[in-house]
């Protein structure tokens, strides 16, 4: 009975025509832009890379060889592991986790400040200043960060001017520029979900806790963080998924040894023209990130309904 009531209330609020149009657009977006392309990618991942003339013929059958290649490489006897690609995959997942954790610690104090300031003029100005840099294309921002972190960039020049270092630091080779670029690229996706939740927190709860002698640590641990948990998980989900699937930032800001898993996918699709192998790698990355996100949501006892509020 609950679902029909939700739909009837939805049509009552939006009208029959507008409600139907909204549902139709969402259905089109889900089916034709997400579900069907992913199903096509899944089908590709179980196929052999055949010449066009043999596609649909007797050799065009399903196989697990594309997934086995990620684990064993070109070793058909399965005696050795594909350590290169597996290390790249694990490093990508771990780096995406680190970027997500970094953004949580960076954005939580700012989100709390913005959420508890009750929309003052300074807060509105601060939000605008946070948004304006994102009017610039992501690739241009990545190149700007590469210039900043370069050997003769602004950061190295400032460090040497302050005599904090005697020689330029190779931020590119040490992957510092890459992690900073990924954190910066998706910081608003972490900030605003936290801000939206914390803004609705009743300040009287905090004042009551302070009147009872609770420290700021206990206030945040017992009141603010549990209340903001859906926003934190929502932001962490978006930052983690986008960081693991990033391509522009690793291509521009990554060092020689910082190959990203999405770069392997790109190479299979565009350099090797092996769409089947590239699809298998893409599916592995997609499924792995979804499993990690669902596991984290289960550990922190957050469901999809909480995130969607």
Each residue of 177-217: pLDDT tens digit? Answer: 999 999 998 999 999 999 888 888 888 888 888 888 888 88
Here the tokens at position 266 are: 């790109």
For 253, phi then psi, to 5°, come to -100, -10
pLDDT beneath 50, residues of the chain? 1
pLDDT value of position 1: 46
Q: For residue 285, which of 267, 266, 269, 261 has the smallest C-alpha distance?
A: 261
pLDDT value of position 6: 65
13-51: per-residue pLDDT in tens? 777 788 788 888 989 999 999 999 999 999 999 999 888
Report how far residue 68's alpha carbon sits from residue 237's, in angstroms, rounded to the nearest whole number: 28
221 three-class SS = helix
pLDDT value of position 4: 61
Question: Nearest 5°: CA angle at 192, between 191 and 195?
Answer: 90
Report CA-CA distances (Å) from 130 to 48, 125, 176, 191: 47, 9, 22, 10
Q: Are 189 and 238 in contact (CB under 8 A)?
A: yes
62 three-class SS = strand
Where in 46-203 does DSSP place strands (E)? none
pLDDT value of position 305: 67
pLDDT value of position 3: 55
Q: For residue 51, which of 43, 60, 39, 42 has the smallest C-alpha distance?
A: 60
Helices 187-199 and 225-244 pack at an angle, to 10 degrees, of: 160
Which pTM value belongs to this model?
Answer: 0.88
Report how far residue 96's alpha carbon sits from residue 239's, in angstroms, rounded to the nearest whole number: 8
Here the tokens at position 196 are: 């939206």
pLDDT value of position 116: 81
pLDDT value of position 32: 92
């Amino acid at each position: 009975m609950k679902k029909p009531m939700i739909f009837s209330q939805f049509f009552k609020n939006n009208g029959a025509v507008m409600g139907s149009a909204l549902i139709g657009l969402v259905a089109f977006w889900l089916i034709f832009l997400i579900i069907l392309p992913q199903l096509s990618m899944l089908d590709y991942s179980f196929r052999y890379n055949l010449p066009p003339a043999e596609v649909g013929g007797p050799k065009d059958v399903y196989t697990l060889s594309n997934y086995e290649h990620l684990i064993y490489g070109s070793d058909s006897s399965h005696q050795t592991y594909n350590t290169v690609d597996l290390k790249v995959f694990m490093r990508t997942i771990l780096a995406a986790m680190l970027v997500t954790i970094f953004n949580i610690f960076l954005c939580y104090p700012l989100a709390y400040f913005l959420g508890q300031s009750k929309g003052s003029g300074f807060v509105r100005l601060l939000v605008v200043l946070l948004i304006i840099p994102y009017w610039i294309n992501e690739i241009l921002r990545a190149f700007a960060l590469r210039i900043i972190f370069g050997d003769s960039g602004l950061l190295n020049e400032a460090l040497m001017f302050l005599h904090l270092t005697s020689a330029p630091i190779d931020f590119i080779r040490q992957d510092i520029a890459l992690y900073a670029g990924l954190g910066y690229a998706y910081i608003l996706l972490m900030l605003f979900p936290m801000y939206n939740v914390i803004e609705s927190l009743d300040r009287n709860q905090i004042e009551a806790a302070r009147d009872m002698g609770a420290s700021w640590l206990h206030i945040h641990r017992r009141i603010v963080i549990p209340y903001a948990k859906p926003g934190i998980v929502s932001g962490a989900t978006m930052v983690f998924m986008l960081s693991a699937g990033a391509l522009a930032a690793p291509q521009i800001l990554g060092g020689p040894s910082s190959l990203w898993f999405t770069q392997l996918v790109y190479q299979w699709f565009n350099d090797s023209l092996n769409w089947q192998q590239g699809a298998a790698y893409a599916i592995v990355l997609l499924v792995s990130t979804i499993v990690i996100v669902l596991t984290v949501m289960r550990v922190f006892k957050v469901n999809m309904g909480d995130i969607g509020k």
